[in-house]
A and B are shown apart, each in its own frame.
Chain A
Amino acid sequence: MTNAAPSHQSAPLFALRGICRTYGEGETAVRALIDVDLDISGGELIVLLGPSGSGKSTLLNILGGLDRPSSGAIHFRGAPLTGQSEHALTHYRRRHVGFIFQFYNLIPSLTARENVDLVGEITDDPLDAAEALELVGLGQRLDHFPSQLSGGEQQRVAVARAIAKRPAVLLCDEPTGALDVKTGVRVLEALQEVNERYGSTTLIVTHNADVARMGARVIRFGDGRVRSVETNTARVPPSALVW
């Protein structure tokens, strides 16, 4: 049903064709995504920008294997992601996807290190937890529980947790949404660091136009449609962002 290239090298990491996602039926149906076509190649840092309710999270959830499009097809590394079983999707998330949520979603009964280790336990070749936490600047707070960390610190633990499995793709839904500027910047720095060092394709969802300035590509959303895709020629490091 698609004309995706058969081999890894030439295929984009994700190829989306005609993706629609409709919630509900009839009169009250909400069309969250309408006919989205997109190619995402390996190692990119992409910012998805758009007003609230424009379908960004819906797209991210579909890419992460949490949700299924109502129609259309997605290929991941040339293999179809649509039409897979629940079990296969779980496996896909386990192997390839790192998630970062707006509210961190750390396990409160585990320390920073253990939250990272948790993911390591279901991964073949994980990063050392201490190393991952060092990378996000939390080398000193390994044995703190989430309740003992600030929001920004918790989000950086979440970043460390997401990268510990060396994911092919990092999906970040409003990662700075609950943070102030200063701590938000540190989280974005960590994300960029990871993207550069490990080459994980990174998608950052935001409704904040400023954040978009750090992306290599910026995809604008409006009313469930891709409005524009621009390559950012003047990338700005997170430290220079203000909002």
Chain B
Amino acid sequence: MRALDKKLFRDVWRMRVHALGVALVLGCGLSVMVMAVGMRGSMERTRAAYYAERHMADLAVSAVRAPERIANVLAQAPGVETIETRISGIALLDLSGVSEPPSARLVSLPIEGRPRVNDLTLARGRWPDAARADEILLSQAFADANNLGLSDTLNATIHGRRQTLRIVGIANSPEFVFVAAPGELFRQAKRFGVIWMNREALARAYDLDGAFNDAVFLLGRHANQSETIAAIDRILEPYGGVGAYGRDRMVSDRFLSEELRQLSTMAIFLPALFLITAAFLVNIALGRVIATERSNIGLLKAFGYSNTAVAWHYAKSALIFAAIGAFIGSAAGIALGRSVADLYRDYYHFPALEFSASPATFIGAWAAGLAAALTGCVFSVLKAARLSPAEALTPPRPTTFFSAGPSLSRFEASLDAKSRIILRRIVRFPRRAGTTALGVAFAIALLVVARTMPAEMDYLLDVNFGVANRQDVTLTFTEARDSAVLHQVERLAGVLYAEPFRLDDVILRHNGRSVNEAVFGVPEQARLSQIVGARQRVMAPPASGIALARALAEKLGAELGDEIRLEQTRGRRISTNVRVTAIVEPMIGSSAYMEIAALSRLMREPGRVSGAHLRMDTARYAAFDRQIKQIPGIAGVSFVGQAETAMRSEFEQGVGVMNLIYAAFAAIMAGGVAFSAARITLAEQERDLATLRVLGFTRLEVSYILVGELMALALIAIPAGLALGALLSIWLMQLFQTDMYAFPFVFNPAGYAFAVAFTLGCVAVAALVVRSSIDKLDMIAVLKARD
């Protein structure tokens, strides 16, 4: 080994604490990068393979009742390659031991053979026998969540009629990777599942013999999707077609795309913070080395090493740091990726999801790590290169200090001498002070972000369940009923109060744009399901006209006072104009709202309601449950209160893990910079601190100079960290925002306080660890040697 290389390894060994700090910080960033980029790629590949293998639909449509012969017409539509017609519905299930019945989407299986579009994979069991009406396949997530297995039976209420279904297989479908009940935006594996069953049995139940109400399509390679949609819509128009849509509106695929988008965001945002911090850490560590190596640099140059050779020699130590960081990052990234893949596999039931990061992902991560380290070392290395040998061989000029400057002199004068030492060092070494403050600020920002996201979620749930959906139970009728039915409902066991609602599926049109959405009819004095207005406050329904959710108004390009067109997609298919009289801000969904009487008049069904929200005596659920199953004409019972509990507990679990990971990241970030800074401060001031001890300063007083500097920098970093955290949170929540969710800024003081306290704690621990060397300062040695 060349002498210089031996020296290199000695140098790195001497800097091992800093090297470890840099490598850990870099490792955190790169591991997230490898995990997120790799996971994104893995998910995308898995999804593509799954979709291709199981013929995931390109288009879907539902109709009220289309005769089966129309299938042939649809198959001839331009671009359509394959069509599968189906009968689809919702069933209320009766599980033993579950007092609030969950529900399931029903999808018919073809009379012969497997589905040509949206084919299934069997996880267990067998395909139903076409001759047996009661055999079904059940979705895996639901089966697992409810401990249902092969040959178990389910009692289902389908279109008001009770049937017993026998589970013969557990299956997954590309159509339902993510499953949510209609109108719900969260998955509740325990409360909502999918049942695939005999087509003829379903046709009988829904009175759809020789007809279908749902179709899915595969398109040809060169199909023009919007052309095909228009053709399908034209064909189905007389049969109550609701408008065909592509994958962008298929809930499951949309959700997956959203997940992929979040992985991309994560691949950028977290690594960026860590790489920047790592670059600064390299900068101060190498700056320190080169300062202490002055005379060596002089010698090397005097021996004839070129400036480039010297620069390269020092740059190599930064590259070694980066290589260690890249190694840690890659290994941790793979481990992280594998555990995330496990989570995703359990959650989505992909037939196969293996985490694998492509070579390009690793190369990209390493390149990013090297780039950060090189950027960090470039200043110090150039300084070493520029140092002339003669200059380098003379002892370094003592560090000159200066007063903090006129703006600070008043403040400075009010300090005691020890604090003044701290202040002057911060002012004298701004880059190093900046690095420490930056790392601490980043750590605070990370934690603010980590605490804001669940706070946003909490707020969303609070608004959803505290304002928009305060009911315990929602009953939906199979068709609109006269409001007198409310009296009957109120007599059911356990019902304390019933509030009617109306729900019409419509196409809203304005300025040539159209959107399929629901219009809710809300009573003037609603107490259970209320409209969420500005700043998430309760708003009464508009006396006349229609209120649009902001996202819906934006999609339509409609403003207050505009006249928009409503076309009912079910029932009488009324078509009418209505004026926009309010823009509202529900955090969830993007529906439209009207006063209930006005809406029913508009739809020419005065006095008719679609269902009722109920306030319940929860102790009497069981009795209520028994009665409700006997009543015909009930399409669905949704236990909203239960859903809230389930959702909150599911979120809390996820949040717990996330908080732990972020806390570890923040600890490494804040601890790493603080530790590095403390070591350098100590090394530089060892002689001064020992002198103070000789002069009679106690250990505590001397420690103050070391710990105080770090704490002062940490304090300076607090406002910056909080502000950065708030901005990052706003930015991230904006990225996560879709037309399904809107996230207003949520200020979460407890989260901010935690971020500050935790980070200061990390800095304090790092400072105290380094401080312990003050107890071992050699007072006699400093009297002898000149530094």
Task: List A residues at the B interface (Cβ < 8 Å).
Answer: 57, 61, 64, 66-67, 87, 90-91, 93-95, 97, 99, 101-103, 105, 107-111, 114, 117-119, 121-122, 145-148, 161, 173, 178
Extra contacts, 17 of them, besides A66-B780, A110-B420, A114-B417 (Cβ < 8 A), are A57-B783, A61-B783, A66-B694, A90-B697, A90-B698, A90-B699, A91-B696, A93-B694, A105-B687, A107-B688, A108-B399, A108-B401, A109-B420, A110-B401, A147-B397, A147-B399, A178-B786
Stretch at the interface among B44-52, B421-429, B647-655: B421-429
Indicate which residue in A67, A94, A114 contacts B696 across the interface (CB closer than 8 Å).
A94
Chain B residues near A95: list those with CB within 8 A. 696
A92 nearest in chain B by CB position: B696
Which secondary structure dominates where chain A touches chain B? mixed
10 nearest CB pairs, A to B = A94-B696, A93-B696, A118-B417, A109-B424, A105-B691, A109-B401, A147-B400, A147-B398, A103-B786, A109-B421
Indicate which residue in B418, B695, B698 contacts A99 across the interface (CB closer than 8 Å).
B695
Q: Report how far A148 CA is from B403 CA in the complex, Å.
A: 13
The interface centre, meaning the residue of B418, B428, B783 with most chain A CB atoms within 10 A of its CB, is: B783
A145 nearest in chain B by CB position: B401
Say yes or no: is B152 at the interface (Cβ < 8 Å to chain A): no
Say yes or no: is B693 at the interface (Cβ < 8 Å to chain A): yes
Q: Mark B404-440, 1 if CB is under 8 A from A, else 0.
A: 0000000000001110110011001000000000000
Q: Report how far A114 CA is from B397 CA in the complex, Å.
A: 21
Instruction: Tell whether, in the assembled complex, residue A90 and residue B417 are in contact, meaning their CB atoms are under 8 Å apart.
Output: no
Q: Report how far A111 CA is from B420 CA in the complex, Å.
A: 10
Chain A residues near B693: list those with CB within 8 A. 90
Task: Knowing A61-B780, A90-B698, A118-B417 are in contact, say whether A107-B691 is a contact too (CB < 8 A).
Answer: yes
B384 to chain A, nearest CB (A): 23
Interchain Cβ contacts under 8 Å between A and B, 21 examples: A61-B783, A91-B696, A99-B694, A99-B695, A101-B691, A101-B783, A103-B786, A105-B687, A105-B782, A107-B417, A107-B421, A108-B688, A109-B420, A110-B417, A110-B421, A110-B424, A114-B417, A119-B695, A119-B696, A145-B401, A147-B398
Chain A residues near B428: list those with CB within 8 A. 109
Q: Report how far A66 CA is from B784 CA in the complex, Å.
A: 13
Instruction: Tell whether, in the assembled complex, residue B420 and residue A105 are in contact, meaning their CB atoms are under 8 Å apart.
Output: no
Instruction: Tell whether, in the assembled complex, residue A122 and residue B697 are in contact, meaning their CB atoms are under 8 Å apart.
Output: yes
Task: List B residues at the A interface (Cβ < 8 Å).
Answer: 397-403, 416-418, 420-421, 424-425, 428, 687-688, 691-699, 701, 779-780, 782-786
Q: Report how far A225 CA is from B320 CA in the complex, Å.
A: 54
Instruction: Tell whether, in the assembled complex, residue A109 and residue B694 are in contact, meaning their CB atoms are under 8 Å apart.
Output: no
Instruction: Tell whether, in the assembled complex, residue A105 and residue B698 are in contact, meaning their CB atoms are under 8 Å apart.
Output: no
Instruction: Tell whether, in the assembled complex, residue B783 and residue A102 are in contact, meaning their CB atoms are under 8 Å apart.
Output: yes
Chain B residues near A121: list those with CB within 8 A. 416-418
B151 to chain A, nearest CB (A): 79
A189 to chain B, nearest CB (A): 23
Indicate which residue in B691, B694, B786 contacts A64 across the interface (CB closer than 8 Å).
B694
B775 nearest in chain A by CB position: A86
Instruction: Tell whether, in the assembled complex, residue B398 and residue A146 are in contact, meaning their CB atoms are under 8 Å apart.
Output: yes
Q: Report how far A90 CA is from B779 CA in the complex, Å.
A: 11
Chain A residues near B400: list those with CB within 8 A. 145, 147-148
Instruction: Tell whether, in the assembled complex, residue A117 and residue B417 are in contact, meaning their CB atoms are under 8 Å apart.
Output: yes
B783 nearest in chain A by CB position: A101
Q: Report how far A66 CA is from B698 CA in the complex, Å.
A: 13
Chain B residues near A105: list those with CB within 8 A. 687-688, 691, 694, 782-783
Chain A residues near B398: list those with CB within 8 A. 108, 146-147
Chain A residues near B697: list those with CB within 8 A. 90, 94, 122
A103 nearest in chain B by CB position: B786
Q: Report how far A48 CA is from B416 CA in the complex, Å.
A: 36
Q: Report how far A147 CA is from B697 CA in the complex, Å.
A: 23
B425 nearest in chain A by CB position: A109
Instruction: Tell whether, in the assembled complex, residue B420 and residue A114 are in contact, meaning their CB atoms are under 8 Å apart.
Output: yes
B706 to chain A, nearest CB (A): 14
Q: Report how far A93 CA is from B398 CA in the complex, Å.
A: 28
